[in-house]
Structure 1
Amino acid sequence: MPPKEGMCRTCCRGVYSCHWSRRNDGRRRCTCCWFSAVAMVSLLAASWLYVCMMAFNDRDDFNWKAFESLKRWVNWFMVMVAVYAAIAIYCCLLLLFALFQEAMRDPVDPHCVHKVFLSLAVLLITAGIVGMSCRWADEWHTVYLSLLATGPFLQLGGVVALTVLCGFVFQRFFKAKRAVSKTIIMATFVVLTAAVFLSPLFIKSPCLLEVLPAKPALIGHRGAPMLAPENTMMSFRRSADCGVDTFETDVLISKDGTPFLMHDTTLQRTTDVSEKFPDRANHTSTSFTWMELQSLNAGRWFLKSNPFRTLSLLSERERAAAGNQSIPSLAELLELAKERNASLIFDMKDGDSAGDDTRLVVDTILKSGIRRELVLWLPPKHRAHAQTRGFRQIYSNVSAMLSDGGNLLNLKYNSVSTEELRELKRKNVTVNMWVVNDRWLFSLLWCAGVDSVTTNACHDLQKMDRPDWHLTPSTYRIIWISVDVASLVIMLIVFYMQRRTRERIFCPRDRGTPLLEL
């Protein structure tokens, strides 16, 4: 009668393969294949979840793209993250069960249901990768930037993982019967270990620097949209309270010629136009008169959708104020900028070829009495007309800036490399980057020497008095060499102990006959 097995071992086998008793059907031949398959899918799922988490900074952009296609504002990004997080957790748990099965010398052959789920996980992840590559390709550069920020920590984590797994690898090495198998196992482990140990030679993180640059200034992206409805006066006041020195917005022209603040080409997402003007809900924002625009509520959508999951930061009084906002005119924002001595940067979403919209905007700015050096002119159309008025010119294109002899740039944070950024700084170009919300990204750009960032999260970034991390190159060199040496010593000790254990189990004079069988 076989010995009674422990409850933990029986449950593990049952969950993993749906066989509650030990099988002796020769399935251990598939152990390496299925263990490798589960490990590869788990690594793929964890890596893709990492990509999704690093794209969290641009979740609003993702939701906006989904809104354009589906015409419904939902936090689609968090839905996607939840799905892939569940996949990653499932795959990693399955890998843990596989490791336990292997340690107990049971067949690593998952049940057919697990095989179906693993195949489905691969398909969903592949669909996500293809979708990002086709519709959101610039996000891959964000992933590259995240590796610059997390590279040193990923390397240290890799060293720790190799140290923990070395015992398992050496065990397989000593149990292998053929010389070819031994060679493959050890060569693969040595190459992988050398790659991880020496990878710091190729890590060029901006956060490895001798002298930390000054903290980037903050520009409020449509105000402070995490604390109030975007492009409302409450939003811009909240951003000013957060210490931003520049307001960023978008300007459209109403049907009767009033410049107003609105990002979208329609009013569906940020107003109650579907209730007030149901027959015109899909019409463009510029097809409404200023009186009609003023009649719309531009705040209740914020309370209803909670786009950044930040409503908990608002008091009851602030929530009541947020729900009672209206669409502001450009003139109102100019008055606030004058009052707070803040600069203004804006884009014109629907400038016409004749220049009438530009003329209306320029006239509104001049009538406000704001100091002209506080106006940062971004729209490329009819730039020459704005230049004659004394406004500061800021560009979204490097070649256009150089051809005009300018020195102010407004770029998306993942549109240039850190090397290109440093080259621009050497040419005394002032660089602003948009939209930067996450601490890790702000820290990276701070170390890279960015002058300012446009952000939705001014209340968070304002509190930072230093990057999340930065080290001098010499300090980091000492850390990674010390960790590598410590890991190597532990690996050698484990290898020696495994070898001695193997020698004690097998008696040399009996040429490999186990003592337990004598």
Structure 2
Amino acid sequence: MYARTATAAFVAAAVVGTGAFLMSGTEALAASGPADAKQSPPVVIAHRGASAYAPENTLPAIDKARALGFDWVENDVQFTKDGVLVVMHDTDLRRTTDVEEVFPGRASWGVKDFTAKEISKLDAGSWFGPQFAGTKVPTLKQYLKRVERNRQKLLLEIKSPELYPGIEKETLRVLRQNGWLDRAHVKNRLVVQSFGADSVKKVHQLRPDVTTGFLGTPAVADLPSYAAFTDQINPSHPSVSADYVAAVHALKGAHGKKLQVNTWTVNDAATATKLAGLGVDGIITNNPDVVRDATR
């Protein structure tokens, strides 16, 4: 999903409304029938947390999503040099941390070129605003603990799997060790997605019970092959049309339930309203309150 640079307007934005809307459970996000405006609006998923209001993919961002009343949060996971899963969108650390100041002599700023201990020394909040100074890049383990404490639900993206052999198996291992692969979490609180079709297939092979999503817009003719290993087709919003949503909804996904459409990244009311009218099942957004108010 696209990289977003925070602005002063975002940092200073007043946040209005506390009511929670979300449908409950992964069955609502990934296994129920198509959205019907007369029945229920799309599920709203906080992209990298409520990332219009707090630094993306950090604990403050998921706390802000909770404060706004949102259950579903989305994140990205990558490997460190020593094989620890951390929550970070970019494969390069420069945009959202002070890595160039802390490690000025390094030749590369890639996540995969730093150990977990080195990354733990970075400030991942000051770039967004001074009130977030000292915020850390969380490990997946730390992130899961906070999501659990907040009683939230997780749309987890395996980021750039081609760079990280074995990341699917390790992601599932960490999820299992932290209690996220029991029946209650798998059924109601977890979806694993990726832009890599082979990565999604691998997750499905390793844990067929886990709900999965493919990030992208496959050709309509190719949708049946995707439906064999995924429960969601999650396209960028400019590529969504009523005909495409109908084509996805006409198929059953890997768990024998209607294939779903969750689109990204939608931050304005007009676009959210349009997409709700097209019948999407979920909307992934930096501004979950804006989308909720436009679609509920």
What pairs with 1:58-207 in structure 2 (closer than 5 Å)?
61=2
Matched, 1:367 2:192: no
**Deviation digits for residues 56-84 of structure 1 (CA, Å, limit 9, x no counterpart):** xxxx95x76xxxxxxxx797xxxxxxxxx
What pairs with 1:311-322 in structure 2 (closer than 5 Å)?
320=131, 322=132
Q: Could you tell me which residue of structure 2 aligns to residue 351 of structure 1?
A: 161
CA–CA distance in structure 1, aligned partners of residues 292 and 168 of structure 2: 34
Matched, 1:271 2:101: no
> Unpaired runs of 5+ in structure 1?
1-59, 65-72, 76-209, 304-318, 467-518
Q: Which amino acid aligns with 1:402?
A: P
CA shift in 2, pair 1:211/1:368, >3 Å: closer
CA–CA distance in structure 2, aligned partners of residues 338 and 449 of structure 1: 30
Matched, 1:402 2:224: yes
Q: Could you tell me which residue of structure 2 aligns to residue 392 of structure 1?
A: 211
Q: Which amino acid aligns with 1:395?
A: F
Q: Could you tell me which residue of structure 2 aligns to residue 417 of structure 1?
A: 241
CA–CA distance in structure 2, aligned partners of residues 382 and 424 of structure 1: 20
Matched, 1:449 2:275: no
User: Could you say what secondary structure the match of 1:332 adopts?
Assistant: helix
Deviation at 1:213, TM superposition (A): 5.1
Higher strand share: 2
The answer on whether the counterparts of 1:213 and 1:449 sit within 8 Å (CA) in structure 2 is no
Q: Which amino acid aligns with 2:56?
A: E
Q: Which amino acid aligns with 1:419?
A: D
CA shift in 2, pair 1:242/1:400, >3 Å: farther
**Deviation digits for residues 480-502 of structure 1 (CA, Å, limit 9, x no counterpart):** xxxxxxxxxxxxxxxxxxxxxxx
The answer on whether the counterparts of 2:79 and 2:112 sit within 8 Å (CA) in structure 1 is yes
Higher helix share: 1
CA shift in 2, pair 1:442/1:391, >3 Å: same
Matched, 1:436 2:266: yes
Matched, 1:297 2:123: yes
> Unpaired runs of 5+ in structure 2?
8-35, 252-257
CA shift in 2, pair 1:294/1:463, >3 Å: same
Of 135, 144, 152 in structure 2, the residue corresponding to residue 334 of structure 1 is 144
- Structure with higher Rg: it is 1
Deviation at 1:354, TM superposition (A): 8.0
Of 191, 198, 214 in structure 2, the residue corresponding to residue 381 of structure 1 is 198
CA–CA distance in structure 1, aligned partners of residues 161 and 285 of structure 2: 25
The answer on whether the counterparts of 2:126 and 2:134 sit within 8 Å (CA) in structure 1 is yes
Q: Which amino acid aligns with 1:425?
A: H
CA–CA distance in structure 2, aligned partners of residues 263 and 211 of structure 1: 32
CA–CA distance in structure 1, aligned partners of residues 135 and 88 of structure 2: 13
Deviation at 1:256, TM superposition (A): 0.8
Which structure exhibits the higher relative contact order, with contacts defined as CA atoms closer than 8 Å and separated by 6 or more residues? 2
Matched, 1:228 2:43: no
CA shift in 2, pair 1:252/1:302, >3 Å: same
Of 459, 463, 486 in structure 1, the residue corresponding to residue 293 of structure 2 is 463
Deviation at 1:413, TM superposition (A): 1.0
The answer on whether the counterparts of 2:63 and 2:150 sit within 8 Å (CA) in structure 1 is no
CA shift in 2, pair 1:439/1:402, >3 Å: same
User: Could you say what secondary structure the match of 1:414 adopts?
Assistant: helix
**Deviation digits for residues 407-445 of structure 1 (CA, Å, limit 9, x no counterpart):** 422111111322222343354332100001010001111
CA–CA distance in structure 2, aligned partners of residues 301 and 245 of structure 1: 26
The answer on whether the counterparts of 1:395 and 1:401 sit within 8 Å (CA) in structure 2 is no
User: Could you say what secondary structure the match of 1:378 adopts?
Assistant: strand
User: Could you say what secondary structure the match of 1:247 adopts?
Assistant: strand
CA shift in 2, pair 1:212/1:298, >3 Å: same
The answer on whether the counterparts of 1:411 and 1:432 sit within 8 Å (CA) in structure 2 is yes
CA–CA distance in structure 2, aligned partners of residues 278 and 226 of structure 1: 29
CA shift in 2, pair 1:413/1:324, >3 Å: same
Q: Percent identity?
A: 27
CA shift in 2, pair 1:341/1:215, >3 Å: same
User: Could you say what secondary structure the match of 1:263 adopts?
Assistant: coil
**Deviation digits for residues 216-247 of structure 1 (CA, Å, limit 9, x no counterpart):** 11111111111111111000111122233322
The answer on whether the counterparts of 2:191 and 2:212 sit within 8 Å (CA) in structure 1 is yes
Deviation at 1:284, TM superposition (A): 1.0
CA–CA distance in structure 2, aligned partners of residues 334 and 392 of structure 1: 17
Deviation at 1:292, TM superposition (A): 0.4
CA shift in 2, pair 1:383/1:458, >3 Å: closer
The answer on whether the counterparts of 2:272 and 2:295 sit within 8 Å (CA) in structure 1 is no
CA–CA distance in structure 2, aligned partners of residues 395 and 259 of structure 1: 20
CA–CA distance in structure 1, aligned partners of residues 37 and 232 of structure 2: 24
